[in-house]
Amino acid sequence: MSALEQFAPLPLQESWDNAGLQVGLTEAEVSGALLCLDVTEAVVDEALRKGCNVVVSHHPLLFRGLKTISDLTDVQRTVRKAVKHEVCVISMHTNMDNARGGVNFKIAAKLGLTDVEFMAEKRVGDVTCGSGVIGTLEEPMAADDFVKRVKQVFGVECAMTNELLRRPVSRVAICGGAGDFLLDDAVAAGADAFITGEMHYHQYFGYEQRIQICVIGHYQSEQFTTEVFRDIIAERCPGVKTEIAETCTNPILYF
């Protein structure tokens, strides 16, 4: 927990978030850490099969307090299973989104962007952070080729875009997950394209030939966050076994 929080301090999280320890005792000795995007019963089962008594997730298992811990909801059932089998659950959410080297920097690295910097930079205490990043492609690309490359890198079946840009894409803004609140920041920062996980319908209007919007799915945009967790633990807690979850928790299917 200390290693993860040194990298992405909890004060970096948004006011509505609930990052940090979700379930378990901090003095437990780690047998292994399963790294995932979401915590479900199936993920806890996978942790048990692989001998991991810690689950590190991006999305918190507990966003709000529980008034009942029974079997009425998937969250309640997951909490009960984790407690029963003494599995600790730790979540690093918007603090990891906002941290230098975090979720958005990983997305930029996967796309090979250079000169990556925070897009909407801010300071929390003595830490510089930001909700999104912007960087430059190694070579400018036609808009259709850019969208094809994004689909290939993230393994998405389809991408939602606005009208294809009739100029090369060079500067790319990124916000994993639900990042449509940063669309105007991306335009103001001079980005040719903006990649995010999900966006409201009405926000596609009015940006034709101003910026190439490319929406690839919430899960798909943040899928490599587990690699960030793995690298932090490998560097700061050498010897701790880590496993990237094989369970796909994306609830959205494409037909």
C-alpha distances out from residue 148 to 27, 130, 188, 216, Å: 47, 27, 25, 11
Which residue ranges of the chain lie beneath pLDDT 50?
none
pLDDT of residue 226: 98
pLDDT of residue 150: 98
At residue 170, φ and ψ (nearest 5 deg) are: -125, -55
pLDDT of residue 254: 86
pLDDT of residue 235: 97
pLDDT of residue 249: 97
DSSP E strands in the chain: the ranges are 20-23, 33-36, 54-57, 88-91, 114-118, 121-124, 127-130, 133-141, 160-161, 169-178, 193-198, 212-215, 242-244
- Model pLDDT for residues 128-162, shown as the tens digit of each residue: 999 999 999 999 999 999 999 999 999 999 999 99
Q: 121: which strand partners? A: 130
Instruction: Say what the pTM is.
Output: 0.96
Rounded distance between C-alpha atoms, residue 78 and residue 90, angstroms:
13
Dihedral angle computed from the Cα positions of residues 178, 250, 154 and 213, in that order, rounded to the nearest 10 degrees: -30
